[in-house]
Amino acid sequence: METDKKIVRRNRRGMSAKDMYSWPDQDFEDMETVLAVQQYIQQLIRADPSNVDAILEPPSSQDETTWKYEHLRQFCNELNCIAVKLQEECDPKVCVQMTATEQWIFLCAAHKEPKECSALDYTLHTLHGAASLLNSNKYFPSRVEVKESSVRWLSSVSRRIYRIFSHAYFHHRDIFDEFEGKTHLCRRFTCYVTKYNLMSKDNLLVPIGDHDPETDESTA
């Protein structure tokens, strides 16, 4: 008689929220799928979203560029949650520009020529554009290897989506604090771009832990 049941790592239709992702953790080396890196990162986040160092530490066998790419995809996925919360408060008639401090105004790159958008439109345009780029068969045709010519886009996407954090922090602090308290997403993102040199420290406006950024002017 068979005593071991095959573990199905999939949320069933109609299951309760408390039972979701209730399967046991799996070693990275045992994940036999092209989505292994994504699944491993998400497993680490579910285990403890505050353990940023563990989440960002790649397995010894993992290619670093693909590891960075998959993390960036994950950041975009999670940022959609704060975008939903911002829609309740970030009124385009009030937040008419995408700003952080009074010194920072960001132009939206989702148009033929970069131009000013309301903060909410900028957020939605940026996340949509990032998802389209990171899922592009032209630039990122594989989930197990990143083309050398596409590496430059990781930094570009990082700079743009970071502005969502900075706007929420400086203009919608209650939403930011509640979201950050549960997800630690901005701290993880700040550590991520610092660890892999994807952003200049001068552009990191939100104070996270030991990081105490100095503001500067930018309209890029």
Tokens of 164: 């969502």
DSSP tag of 4: P
Residue 216 lies in a domain: no
DSSP secondary structure string for all residues of 34-101: TTHHHHHHHHHHHH-TT-HHHHH---TTS-HHHHHHHHHHHHHHHHHHHHHHHTTT--TTTS-SEESS
Domain count along the chain = 1
For the chain, list residues with pLDDT below 70: 1-24, 209-220
Looking at residue 140, what is its pLDDT? 95
Residue 117: name the closest of 86, 94, 96, 100 by CA. Answer: 96
Looking at residue 33, what is its pLDDT? 83
Residue 69 lies in a domain: yes
pLDDT digits (tens, 9 = 90+) for 132-155: 999 999 999 999 899 999 999 999
Task: Tell me which long-range contacts 188-193 makes (C-beta under 8 A, separation of at least 24).
Answer: 188/49, 188/52, 188/55, 188/56, 188/75, 189/75, 189/158, 189/162, 189/165, 191/52, 191/53, 191/56, 192/56, 192/68, 192/71, 192/75, 192/158, 193/158, 193/162
Residue 97 lies in a domain: yes
Answer whether 101's CB lies under 8 Å from 152's CB.
no
* Distance separating alpha carbons of residues 120 and 202, to the nearest angstrom: 24
Residue ranges making up the domain that contains 143: 59-203
Residue 128 lies in a domain: yes
Tell me the Cα Rg of the chain. Answer: 19
Q: Going by DSSP bridges, is the β-strand pair 105-106/98-99 parallel, antiparallel, or unpaired?
A: antiparallel
Looking at residue 96, what is its pLDDT? 95
Looking at residue 94, what is its pLDDT? 94
* Distance separating alpha carbons of residues 173 and 135, to the nearest angstrom: 31
Residue 108 lies in a domain: yes
Whichever domain contains 97, its CATH number is 1.20.140.30
Residue 210 lies in a domain: no
Residue 176 lies in a domain: yes
Residue 12 lies in a domain: no
Q: Scanning the structure block, which residue is given the tokens 């940026």?
A: 126
